[in-house]
Amino acid sequence: MSLLPPELTCRPIYTLKIPGSHDSGASYFLNDKLPVANDEDVPIQQLGRAFCIRRGIKRWAVCQSCSIRDQLDHGIRYLDLRVSNPPVGVRKSKTDFRLIHALYGPKLRDVFREILDFLTVNTKEVCFYQF
């Protein structure tokens, strides 16, 4: 946003085209050592008990090759975050939310830290996210 031409800085934000990413947290940080995520149907979760199946699931679940911070550094300002509160075997506490896309990814707390670190350094930037 800091590089917007002067004529765009006065426009309402809803008139701007904001670059975003689909399934922003579905990167190589998806963890195939954990069970299949609870956003998948029960038959897929049951098949995913086998590690070799989870490796295959990871291959089609990854949508991004960059971390959240790298996406922000590359100009992405709209993040599509799929969030879940995993079952007790995966989470450490009731507030241990994680990003998901067929598999469990990074902790939401860590993702927010990445966003905050970016915004702290880049004080004229904004970040939108949707759950």
- Please confirm, yes or no, whether 74 is among the known catalytic residues: no
Active-site residue among 4, 18, 22, 128? 22
Active-site residue among 101, 103, 111, 127? 101
Residues ≥6 apart with Cβ < 8 Å to 93: none
Distances (CA, A) of 82 to 1, 38, 78, 102, 120: 25, 11, 13, 10, 24
Residue with tokens 């969030």: 83
- Please confirm, yes or no, whether 101 is among the known catalytic residues: yes
Q: Which sequence positions are flagged as catalytic?
A: 22, 101
